[in-house]
Structure 1
Amino acid sequence: MSQPKMRLGIKEIPRPDQWLLFSLQHLCAMFGATVLVPFLVDMSPATALLSSGLGTLAFILVTKGQVPAYLGSSFAFIAPIIAAQGLGGTEGAMIGSFFAGLVYGIVALVIKAAGTDWITKVLPPIVVGPVIMVIGLSLATTAIGNAMYLPGTPVGEEPVYSLVHIATASVTLAVAVIATMYFKGFLNLIPILLGLIAGYVFALWQGLIDLSPIREAPWFSSPELLVPFVTYTPSLNWAIVAIMAPVALVTLAEHTGQLMVLSKVAGKNFLEKPGMHRTVMGDGIATMIAASIGGPPNTTYGENVGVVAITRVFSVFVVGGAAVLAIAFSFIGKIAALISSIPEAVMGGISILLFGIIASAGVRMLIDNSVDMGEKRNMVIASIILVIGIGGATVRFSDTFEIAGMSLATIIGLILHGILPNRSVSYGKKQIFDSES
């Protein structure tokens, strides 16, 4: 790979004034998406920030400070967390998240022993692409529901349509789109944050926000932690494990793609050095740390890869600085209260864009790998994955064990890939591990 011009190398330490600004920039890039996940699954945003910072620092240690990647809350786990909460509460979802982290660790050990070629064979683009689409599209009703209806509707009752909420969501979405398409420089790096700010101001004008909790919140407070054997006694529910653990295989594909992009941007093959086994292990440890304190699972963030690509600042010290800032912010009570005060309509508006981008990433995977959707085999696999995943199909083995939604769609997709003839057409013409792509 050719070496790009770097403003700061991977191991370079910036000047203190630059360090703070560069780290704040990374924090802004991940902030909106990282706090959106806990908001949607009724978890603590402050805990998500804390687990994000701790997970990123753990990732840097595991990868020997050689990969400038930031880890934040994973969107792939939103639907599984909601399903797991229905079976065993948030505590049960944390146990499921911990097992997902273990899956990462097992995969990392296999990669260490066998290399990376097998991943392409096990997770072909025709399976991974539609599954990524399912991640975004299965959350579409959540985004639209938050954008259209009054919050707090009791289960079983018809939600109340609200034109004010529609307007708030529209303002939020419009500003995020305008910032993405037309803003330049630093403002172009934070369209999600700008959309949230604009939507928040509009919602405040419309009387949708109560500022009293922010005024009453202390400046310094501890995040709401869920620590096994300290705040609760964990119990194993295999149904929850079956829902959440397989998601690690889906996020593994996302992780791989982002690692390849970062490798190309930096002019270094991170798959070889420090090795993909270390980056996957870093993701796994970060997810287990999050599960151990009550935060959502973590994954490498494409938003921060974009920051690195645009600024040419590759320093892991900058990324580490952003992690430290995230940890510090998690202990500021007024910031946690401010985040919690964001109306559902604002989150709904921004979710329309974010969830759509996730679904579009699945389409892009098929295009980038030149998968021929005119082939009957590919059309059958993609169609079945999409309908099963988006439709929320469930296979229930007992009252305590079922496989549903995205996990079921992934498993069926892999089975179809294994048994249908003409397997070669499902890999496309361009392999995901082609380092020169």
Structure 2
Amino acid sequence: MSMLGTKWKLHGNGKSIRPGEVVRPDERLTWPLTIGVGMQHVVAMFGATFLVPIITGMPPATTLFFSGIGTLLFLVITRGKVPSYLGSSFAFIAPIMASQQQYGVAGALGGVVLAGVALALIGAVVQKFGAGWINRLMPPIVTGAIVALIGLNLAPAAKNNFDAAPITALATLVTIILVSVFFRGILGRLSILVGVVVGYFVATVRGEVDFAKMDSAAWIGLPHFQAPEFHFGVVGLFVPVVLVLVAENIGHVKSVAAMTGQNLDGVSGRALMADGAATALAGLGGGSGTTTYAENIGVMAATKVYSTAAYWVAGIFAVVLSFSPKFGELIATVPAGVLGGAATMLYGMIGILGVKIWVQNKVNFSNPINLTTAAVALIIGIADYTWTIGDLKFTGIALGSAAALLIYHGMKALATARGTVAEPETELVGTPAPAAKASGGTKRTSKKRR
């Protein structure tokens, strides 16, 4: 059983956590408390995980089922060393929607499977040789650009849903904004879920919600499973997603390592393989691709409980909840206006996460290589440039991601050969800022404080 990471030690008396301490992944609190924390993880992932199938038109109950199964699979493959919940990845929204237009839902599921297999293979390589080569292939300027363009590429979809019911959408968006600043702790972190609930209430009052399918659905039943179809034309749509999942996953492992004080580099490859396996499994049965969830990192940071026992509880509860067709149909009744308000926030957040990667890694945009990489990639992604070669169609996300990689490495190789770039790729810490000049051209001096 220890090979599965399910042999937990009781932390202290199991009822409290001393100041400065955390409940480590191989520890747990008493089972009533552990179950309570596990339920919090389900609530934390709930809003974001369900938005993906709602936006893409896929069965919410099926997505929830594979989210729970994927979480349990992740815990087994990582041997209980990396606490994480695998929820629906927003990076899959654009390629799923694009591939559905040409190949239907089954074709989109085939793309999800291919992305999962590719991610698992990358994880195997990382586990064998380490993650250094990924950092060289995708430095922060490239990773940030890819993450940003994926979010910003979805802006038209958010606008279309917003326009469908502007009042409902505005109520949803305003609620998300207010909750995020008025409340602390878990409620503040669940601002999107609260916004969706309030927006749903407004939509119900305005007669925008249709309960017909929910009323006729059974209380207990199997999720709707569907087999994938594989088309070569979806490859270009889903390749960039793999790069984003790699960045998200490695970032998650590093975050957990920093918060628990443990070195988890040795299992980073296993984490990638687990995420890839969960994504491929979801695609094989009709679910959306998965990723490690930042929302649940917030729960761990707030509770100081990093026990994988809580994630076993969360995964099992998600699977049980997915066996209620009525619950799934209730989620599917969320109208376009609510989605528009939430998506305006969510898609923008994805874009800003790319910018956050640049800021945290002190990317220097005085360097022309960095500046050109980001500038060209973002415009291609936002404008949704398209390139069709026979049956293979590359859209803005794929072309923008490829541009980021090719421009960065191409310009860097040429600059190295010519010795033409003197600016560092990252800003130097502690470098004094240039003196400000007065309008008349004289330098301003500040009085020395005593």
- TM-score above 0.5, yes or no: yes
Residue equivalent to 1:254: 248
- Given that 2:186 and 2:299 are in contact with CA atoms closer than 8 Å, whether structure 1 keeps it comes out as no
Shift of 1:407: 1.4
Residue equivalent to 1:418: 409
Using the aligned pairs only, state the percent identity. 35
Residue equivalent to 1:38: 53
Q: Does 1:380 align with 2:395?
A: no
Amino acid across the alignment from 1:386: L
Amino acid across the alignment from 2:187: L
Residues 39 and 368 of structure 1, relative CA distance in 2, 3 Å threshold:
same
Residue equivalent to 1:162: none
Structure 2 distance, partners of 1:312, 1:5, is 9
Shift of 1:390: 1.3
Q: Does 1:19 align with 2:48?
A: no
What is the correspondence of 1:264-413 to structure 2 with a 5 Å cutoff?
A: 264-272=258-266, 275-398=267-390, 400-413=391-404
Structure 2 distance, partners of 1:252, 1:195, is 30
Shift of 1:226: 0.8
Normalised by the size of structure 1, how large is the TM-score? 0.88
What is the correspondence of 1:53-72 to structure 2 with a 5 Å cutoff?
A: 53-72=68-87
Q: What do the CA deviations read for 1:368-418 (whole angstroms, capped 9, x no partner)?
A: 1111112222111111100111111122111x1122221111112111112
Residue equivalent to 2:187: 187
Residues 426 and 360 of structure 1, relative CA distance in 2, 3 Å threshold:
farther
Structure 2 distance, partners of 1:214, 1:133, is 37
Residues 172 and 430 of structure 1, relative CA distance in 2, 3 Å threshold:
farther
The RMSD of aligned alpha carbons is: 2.0
The structure with more radius of gyration: 2
Residues 263 and 337 of structure 1, relative CA distance in 2, 3 Å threshold:
same
Residues 184 and 413 of structure 1, relative CA distance in 2, 3 Å threshold:
closer
- Given that 2:45 and 2:87 are in contact with CA atoms closer than 8 Å, whether structure 1 keeps it comes out as yes
The aligned length equals 405
Residues 210 and 394 of structure 1, relative CA distance in 2, 3 Å threshold:
closer
Q: Does 1:98 align with 2:90?
A: no
- Given that 2:24 and 2:260 are in contact with CA atoms closer than 8 Å, whether structure 1 keeps it comes out as no
- Given that 2:22 and 2:260 are in contact with CA atoms closer than 8 Å, whether structure 1 keeps it comes out as no
Which ranges in structure 2 are unaligned for 5 or more consecutive residues?
Answer: 1-17, 430-450
Structure 2 distance, partners of 1:30, 1:413, is 31
Structure 2 distance, partners of 1:238, 1:262, is 37
Q: What do the CA deviations read for 1:327-380 (whole angstroms, capped 9, x no partner)?
A: 111111221111011111111111111111111110011111111112222111
Residue equivalent to 1:241: 235
Shift of 1:82: 1.2
- Given that 1:239 and 1:401 are in contact with CA atoms closer than 8 Å, whether structure 2 keeps it comes out as yes
Shift of 1:191: 1.3
Amino acid across the alignment from 1:371: V
What is the correspondence of 1:210-225 to structure 2 with a 5 Å cutoff?
A: 210-225=210-225
Higher relative contact order (CA 8 A, sep 6+): 1
Residues 261 and 13 of structure 1, relative CA distance in 2, 3 Å threshold:
closer
Structure 1 distance, partners of 2:428, 2:367, is 16
Structure 2 distance, partners of 1:426, 1:182, is 41
Q: Does 1:78 align with 2:72?
A: no
Structure 1 distance, partners of 2:427, 2:251, is 16
Residue 245 of structure 1 aligns to a residue in which SS?
helix
Structure 1 distance, partners of 2:424, 2:383, is 24
Amino acid across the alignment from 2:182: Y
- Given that 2:151 and 2:349 are in contact with CA atoms closer than 8 Å, whether structure 1 keeps it comes out as yes
Residue equivalent to 1:154: none
Farther off after superposition, 250-259 or 316-325: 250-259
Q: What do the CA deviations read for 1:122-176 (whole angstroms, capped 9, x no partner)?
A: 0011111111111111111111211112xxxxxxxxxxxxxxx211111111221
Residue 149 of structure 2 aligns to a residue in which SS?
helix
Shift of 1:189: 2.9
Residue equivalent to 1:115: 130
Q: What do the CA deviations read for 1:253-286 (whole angstroms, capped 9, x no partner)?
A: 12222221221111112223xx211000011001
Structure 2 distance, partners of 1:254, 1:411, is 18
Structure 2 distance, partners of 1:26, 1:168, is 28
Which ranges in structure 1 are unaligned for 5 or more consecutive residues?
Answer: 150-164, 229-233, 432-437
Residue 227 of structure 2 aligns to a residue in which SS?
coil
Shift of 1:427: 4.8
Residue equivalent to 2:426: 428
Structure 1 distance, partners of 2:20, 2:235, is 45
Residue equivalent to 2:257: 263
Shift of 1:304: 0.6
Shift of 1:295: 0.5
Normalised by the size of structure 2, how large is the TM-score? 0.86
Residue 27 of structure 2 aligns to a residue in which SS?
coil
